[in-house]
Amino acid sequence: MAIIVDRKSLGFWEKLYLPAVLGGLKVTMRHAWRSLFKGGQVTMEYPEQRWTLPDGYRGAPYLVRDQEGSTKCVSCQLCEFVCPPKAIKITPPGPNGLPADRKNAEKMPEEFEINMLRCIYCGLCQEVCPEEAIFLQKDYSLTGLSRGELIYNKEKLLALGGTVGGIQKWKHKLEEAKTQEQFPVNV
């Protein structure tokens, strides 16, 4: 049930609008004055000044390596599956492909491409990755002169992504299991 509130009828000066108009002009003029002469501008002069990015900022997704410098990705294609704009394209190695370059991994992607023109920086790939092989990093200024240039391949992604921590996934899984034990399941 909607509540209908009667609109307040306007007073004489309000009906005349002029005070409001002048008031508006005053406000805008104040802003202009401030930004002109008092440095009140909030604009950041971008290439020279840079924004300090907050924690948890979701920039471009890159592939990362572990401490040994080997590829974390195992080509499970979960991220490809989950990617809303279908920006990720993984080519698995196939029976005759390259073996994984690290232990405890059966394979690594033959090719891994992210179309940065498509990517929406949602972070789902990061979340879904069982190997913690892909991370959204604080990179936002992706430019290029052609469309093809913005399709990042595995090498580029790995190069940009760098190394993030060690293999933490077991630690995380352990924590998860603990919370589940503690959690009363008595529904």
State the residues that interact with another protein by CB under 8 A: 21, 24-25, 27-29, 31-32, 34-36, 40-43, 45
Q: How far is the CB of 145 from another protein (least distance, A)?
A: 17
The smaller minimum CB distance to another protein, of residues 46 and 170, is found at 46
The smaller minimum CB distance to another protein, of residues 29 and 53, is found at 29
With a CB cutoff of 8 Å and minimum separation 6, the contacts of 151 are: 113, 114, 115, 116, 117
The smaller minimum CB distance to another protein, of residues 21 and 159, is found at 21
The smaller minimum CB distance to another protein, of residues 31 and 172, is found at 31
The smaller minimum CB distance to another protein, of residues 25 and 177, is found at 25
Q: How far is the CB of 181 from another protein (least distance, A)?
A: 54
Instruction: Please choose, from the candidates 110, 79, 88, the residue with its C-alpha nearest in 3D space to the C-alpha of residue 97.
Output: 110
Phi–psi pair at 30, nearest 5 degrees: -60, -45
Beta bridge partners of residue 89, listed in sequence order: 113
**What does the alpha-carbon distance between residue 25 and residue 19 come to, in Å, rounded to a whole number?**
10
Q: Are 114 and 152 in contact (CB under 8 A)?
A: yes
Following DSSP, what letter does each residue of 74-139 receive, concatenated? Answer: ----HHHHH-TT--EEEE---TTSPBPSSTT-SB--SEEEEETTT-----HHHHH-TT--EEE-S-
Q: How far is the CB of 49 from another protein (least distance, A)?
A: 11
Q: How far is the CB of 38 from another protein (least distance, A)?
A: 10
Q: How far is the CB of 139 from another protein (least distance, A)?
A: 23
